Structure 1
């Protein structure tokens, strides 16, 4: 199926209509934030599921109950997705934890007024591309990726769900409300998960005991989290996600793009990256 059949355009970017029907986008637009809210913001395939596991465990100070009994899309719902409307989020006690794939410019009026705490997770765009390529091949609500070359052109031009990775990252890096944003990298979480848990905990005002930090980090190591049926998307019917084609939680590593890219693709990607990011002074671990 084509983009026209599977996607709608919202604020200038493609969103999958199955996940983000007009009524859920309207709900998101009218949503009232609280200052104590915690918002996980990512471009798709940048570590959202991982953060949906880590943050509730920090908030609960190591109580495993929420992550072992509630599916992650209800535990930390995406505000723009249809599930959000069904969960009585207004009744949830603070701190509420949400996720979004929205660009900074797409956030609603209440967000800019209340300035909730934001965890903005970034990942090497070559790995985002690689993870996306496998994901688009197994999810029925996304346009088939086609060949690697075809999908790369779509990715580099922002003709995929939630638009351009470059615009997404630059928009959030240029946010004026930086005091309420913690920028964190997928790669630093892989290199030092315990340190990342401590860093996120401090940002959220939680001073965790060392044994609690250890327990959270141990549970959230990729291979352990992958076994949690509340988080590995195995509860999603096969008609929507065919995990026989590719697992939703695949490898959880940095640098997997090296197993996918040809030399020509690497050159093409690098040329576009250098052009799009030439004005960005922020230091990324993959540069």
Structure 2
């Protein structure tokens, strides 16, 4: 498989060369957004696949047909991936797009058109655990080593896609100038119905109760885990190997407690307090 063992560097970020090239990254940074576009922005393993499914179902008014016949990377394609030009659906209506890129890379392009942006954040301890397992199963990442090794790299921002702290703070910094809907993975778990109603209102797609129920059903973890258009079963095993770790692993809140030692948790809390001092975003279950 092409460039599985290589890394691409762009704007100070290390990125999997299997998915990105300098050309695709420059194109993403200069993408001509439209005001009608909807951009989903996340740090990896923060609920991206879940929100891609939710957005698909909101725009289909709960009809599962698109979510069951088209892969999520076609329905809500990644702006920075090499296959973006092939997967972008050129329609007159809203184009649904995804990015893992930080705000500073896309800021100039976004300011020109000011599309709607949805930013999903997740308890970073759970992100670290999920990202570690993703590193293990995705062969376009380097060997993560032990979880302790990986956690130290996560905390100092030397994992692929860069610092979680900088990513979250960057996207929070533009809330006064951009039309952004901020939501956490934990909120989605706690009150999915309420989140769907708020999302529908934000997008200008108010949902009927029956549509909300359908979206809840088809965006459940159990449903997505069995859906080959969502669970990455279509990706060759040479690229993503589910025998090492399934892509749809647990989808829970607080799994970090099954992985962290108290020393790791204490170190993480110290770094978090230093990095996120004054940040308005809070996360359920961040501490014991």
Fold shared, TM-score > 0.5 on shorter chain: yes
Over 3 Å counting, the alpha-carbon distance change for 1:131 and 1:10 in structure 2 is: same
Aligned to 1:142: 141
Moved more, 169-178 or 68-77: 169-178
Deviation at 1:56, TM superposition (A): 1.2
Q: Residues of 2 paired with 1:178 and 1:55: CA distance? A: 23
Aligned to 1:82: 82
Q: Which residues of 2 match residues 117-156 of structure 1 at below 5 A?
A: 117-156=116-155
Q: Residues of 1 paired with 2:95 and 2:256: CA distance? A: 35
Tell me, what secondary structure is at the counterpart of 2:214?
helix
Q: Residues of 2 paired with 1:191 and 1:77: CA distance? A: 27
Q: Residues of 1 paired with 2:175 and 2:280: CA distance? A: 16
TM-score w.r.t. the length of structure 1 is 0.94
Aligned to 2:15: 15
Deviation at 1:174, TM superposition (A): 0.9
Q: Residues of 2 paired with 1:118 and 1:200: CA distance? A: 11
Deviation at 1:178, TM superposition (A): 5.1
Say whether the 8 Å CA contact 1:116–1:180 is kept in structure 2: yes
- Which ranges of structure 2 fall in alignment gaps of 5 or more residues? none
Deviation at 1:45, TM superposition (A): 0.2
1:55 lines up with 2:55 in the alignment: yes
TM-score w.r.t. the length of structure 2 is 0.94
Moved more, 269-278 or 118-127: 269-278
Structure 1 vs Structure 2 CA RMSD: 1.6
Moved more, 35-44 or 107-116: 107-116
Q: Which residues of 2 match residues 152-167 of structure 1 at below 5 A?
A: 152-167=151-166
Moved more, 23-32 or 66-75: 23-32
Q: Which residues of 2 match residues 1-287 of structure 1 at below 5 A?
A: 6-89=6-89, 91-107=90-106, 109-177=108-176, 180-286=179-285
Q: Residues of 2 paired with 1:284 and 1:130: CA distance? A: 16
Say whether the 8 Å CA contact 2:39–2:96 is kept in structure 1: yes
Q: Residues of 2 paired with 1:74 and 1:208: CA distance? A: 24
Q: Residues of 2 paired with 1:80 and 1:185: CA distance? A: 23
Please give the per-residue CA displacement for 1:120-158, whole angstroms capped at 9, x wherever unaligned.
000000000000111101111001110111101110011
Q: Residues of 1 paired with 2:12 and 2:285: CA distance? A: 28
- Which ranges of structure 1 fall in alignment gaps of 5 or more residues? none
Deviation at 1:66, TM superposition (A): 1.2
Say whether the 8 Å CA contact 2:77–2:88 is kept in structure 1: no
Deviating beyond 6 angstroms after TM superposition, the runs of 4 or more aligned structure 1 residues are none
